[in-house]
Amino acid sequence: MSKHDIAENIRKLAGSANAFETFVCEVKSVDGATCTVTRVLDGLEIADVRLNCHITENEGIVVTPKVNSFVLVTNIDGRQHFVSQCSEVEKITIDCNGDIIINGGNNDGIIKIKELTNKLNALVQKFNTHT
């Protein structure tokens, strides 16, 4: 039995009322970690659409879409929704207690600000003591 068959059987057991639905929507406003959208299909307005798994803007990764851009909105349980994709991003906020690794940790184009600051401070110190 394939993964697809197993997933299909689980959907049948759970019933269609719990099936995820995804809609193309236009962003009308953004408020912290939620937004209000209008479904393109029928013009239905949906408020309090989550931008991340929490409803607070300072936890995890929050991808904030631009107002008037298009997003894919997925229905979680018939009452709650979340943005799963954005056509245009206004900003990305990352709240992380650990390391953030980009491109496997390679430093191509990413500034190591502490090292740069230390080198500049050392240069300033040498310049100021030079006679």
Report residue 87 as tokens.
């056509």
pTM reported for the whole predicted model: 0.63
pLDDT in tens, the chain (131 residues): 777 678 677 767 766 555 678 999 999 999 988 999 999 999 999 999 999 887 666 678 889 999 999 999 999 887 899 999 999 999 988 888 887 777 677 766 577 788 889 999 999 998 888 86
pLDDT value, residue 95: 82
CA distance 106 to 103: 6
What 3-state DSSP class applies to 100?
coil
